[in-house]
Chain A
Amino acid sequence: MISAQYLGMPLEVNDLDHENLNYFAYCAKHDFRLQRCASCKLLRYPPTTACPWCSELNSEWVSVEGRGTVHSYTEVHHAIQPAFKPYTPYLVLLVELDTQSDMPTKEEGLRVIGNLVRPDGVLAPKAEVERVGIGSRVRMVFTDVAPGLALPQWTIDETALAGTPWRYRG
């Protein structure tokens, strides 16, 4: 059982939820791992009991590089959870990993959710939020929530060539 408080929210992963327990245990060590199917060898996100492509139950957890491109996003101005309000506007990013991009079909990929954060895992300030949009290159960092629990997050990849991302300017 993992149980912790984060930004005013109780977070819980119960003892029967083996897939999420394993996932977050690796995240706590800042090691981003996904399940690789024992049969078809495809990686999958988020953690699932069986393989979305072949229904195989067996898988192994393998380390995956936390780099990718913003596939889409929303910029939240009206926060629902009270503790997010001081951080508005904040970004929720849907990031397509470089790993297994366009696989197994052209319209599929590993699209991993996260906020835009500073490298230390705190939600990014407005000036950084306004630099990021569809096409932005990002790298994974972690927000340490409690001993044994960290959330995978995204920060601007300052080493990437700076193209102009697509942003909704309204």
Chain B
Amino acid sequence: MPLPREDVEATTPKFLRDKYAIVGVGETSYTRGSDKSTRALASIAVRNAMADAGLKPSEIDGMLSYQFNDSVFSPFVAGDLGIRLNFYMDVFGGGSSTEALIGIAIGVIEAGLCKTVVIFRSMNGFSQVRIGGTGVRSAIPVSGDMMHSRAYGWQSAGQMFAPTFMRHMHDFGTTAEQVAHVRVAHSHHASNNPKAYYKKRVTAEDVVTSRMICKPLHLLDCCVETDNANAIIVTSAERAKDLKHPLVRIRGVVGRCCKPRADMHYQAGPISTVAGHYAKDILWPNSGVSPEDVDLTGSYDAFTFTTMLQLEDYGFCKKGEGGHYVSDGTIMLGGKRPNNTSGGHLCEGYTHGIAMVIENVRQLRHDADDSCPIGSDGKRQHTYDYREGGCRQVKNAEVSANFGWAMPGTGSAMVMRRG
């Protein structure tokens, strides 16, 4: 049952709306073969985020990270950079963590535990632990509840999510060609992103004729596993006013909102519906905006289908019309509401969602790091010419929304605004 819009009790009470901001973002390069430890990658990304914010190590006193036992813990990164922590926590999890941890950062600052929190995700997602499940991850014994999944060769993210995607095609007539346009759009965006791992533009035909992985997912429906670290700095909007970038305020956050039966979400249908169906009733009322107010989105693209399903369930189109929404030009640069203007996980690199938030921060600063020339004020002089190798800044971007995905049954979200 939908909650009434003005009477929501959830993680972000309305009085915190706009009270916190993202003031620094940073990352490493996206590679397949970083030749660096996750500790080194994380320290570089956090250092870059501090430089971006214009903050000294002594001005950071909180740290959060997320991982799958595949990465460094906060104390080592803090030690590397001379940060003395008043608060830290390293949590278990992948996609859907970024927005959730931003909510936690707001909470711990509000509770007085610390003043400024840096959040990082560092992973050698290609050269050490591949989320696709090959290598180290396929060698672990199958035990306990995994006896009902991995024992059946049902293990990788694509394999686990595919029944949701198939059922959406069955229920609504969604086609693989429609959904392939998510890859088309993101590949176009990546071609204008100098740091993207895959910069080549592709067609829908390229996607549906690429090798089958597990139906309905072709190779190009799947994201690219890479090595990288990313970092985001959260503090109060009051403190952020003194810093160097245009303010990017946090309007509202949803953290790891779940469908019923999070242990085995396929028990509760409709299975073609994802967690966004529930999360939207927290996100929009707490943010005080509706989908119509959003200028650009960051819908998680572990697969083409995850982007489509979330945009649909958060209400950018009617239920069942997601295939049309992602294939009619709306989500492309120059369209009404571009999605993942960096190229996302499909093309820029795989970060468990954090890079999609970073991209939208830069978009709201009107400072997407594209190929446009830098002016005398140190800012990009955007051309808004989205041809290959050109601009990727969305014109007049004021409000963005991010939709993190852990699995069909669990998601997170956040709305940010400029100013």
Complex contact B214–A77 (CB within 8 A):
yes
**Least Cβ distance of B125 to chain A in Å?**
15
Q: Which stretch in B23-31, B50-58, B158-166 binds the other chain?
A: B158-166
Complex contact A6–B151 (CB within 8 A):
yes
Interface string of B205-222 (1 = CB under 8 A from A): 000100111111010000
B419 within 8 Å of A by Cβ? no
Q: Which stretch in B99-107, B267-275, B345-353 binds the other chain?
A: B267-275
Complex contact B143–A14 (CB within 8 A):
yes
Interface string of A109-135 (1 = CB under 8 A from B): 111011100000000000000000010
> Please, how many residues of chain A have a CB less than 8 angstroms from a CB on the other chain?
46
Complex contact A78–B142 (CB within 8 A):
no
B381 within 8 Å of A by Cβ? no
Complex contact B155–A111 (CB within 8 A):
no
**Least Cβ distance of B411 to chain A in Å?**
18
Interface string of B158-184 (1 = CB under 8 A from A): 010011101101100000100000000
**Least Cβ distance of B387 to chain A in Å?**
31
Complex contact B159–A74 (CB within 8 A):
yes
A138 within 8 Å of B by Cβ? no
Which residues from B are CB-within-8-Å of A72? 163-164, 166-167, 170, 266, 271
Q: How far is the CA of A111 from the CA of B271 in the complex (A)?
A: 11
B132 within 8 Å of A by Cβ? yes
Complex contact A20–B169 (CB within 8 A):
no
Complex contact B141–A74 (CB within 8 A):
no
Complex contact A74–B144 (CB within 8 A):
no
Q: Which of A14, A45, A76, A151 has the most CB of B within 10 A?
A: A76
Complex contact A114–B264 (CB within 8 A):
no
Query: Residue A170 contacts which of B142, B149, B150, B216 (CB distance < 8 angstroms)?
Result: B216
Which residues from A are CB-within-8-Å of B169? 168
Which residues from A are CB-within-8-Å of B263? 46, 48
Interface string of A43-79 (1 = CB under 8 A from B): 0111010001000000000000000000111111111
Query: Residue A9 contacts which of B142, B148, B159 (CB distance < 8 angstroms)?
Result: B142
Given the known A-B contacts A11-B141, A11-B147, A46-B148, are A168 and B213 also in contact in the complex, defined by CB atoms under 8 Å? no
**Least Cβ distance of B87 to chain A in Å?**
33
Q: How far is the CA of A72 from the CA of B147 in the complex (A)?
A: 19
Complex contact A151–B163 (CB within 8 A):
no
Given the known A-B contacts A74-B163, A78-B212, A78-B214, are A46 and B156 also in contact in the complex, defined by CB atoms under 8 Å? no
Q: How far is the CA of A48 from the CA of B267 in the complex (A)?
A: 13
Q: How far is the CA of A6 from the CA of B143 in the complex (A)?
A: 12
Complex contact B164–A170 (CB within 8 A):
no
Which residues from B are CB-within-8-Å of A78? 211-214
Closest to A145 in B: B151
Given the known A-B contacts A77-B212, A78-B212, A134-B167, are A71 and B271 also in contact in the complex, defined by CB atoms under 8 Å? yes
Q: How far is the CA of A20 from the CA of B271 in the complex (A)?
A: 25
Q: Which of A78, A89, A108 has the most CB of B within 10 A?
A: A78
B6 within 8 Å of A by Cβ? no
B261 within 8 Å of A by Cβ? yes
User: 5 closest Cβ contacts across the A-B interface?
Assistant: A74-B162, A72-B163, A107-B269, A12-B143, A10-B141
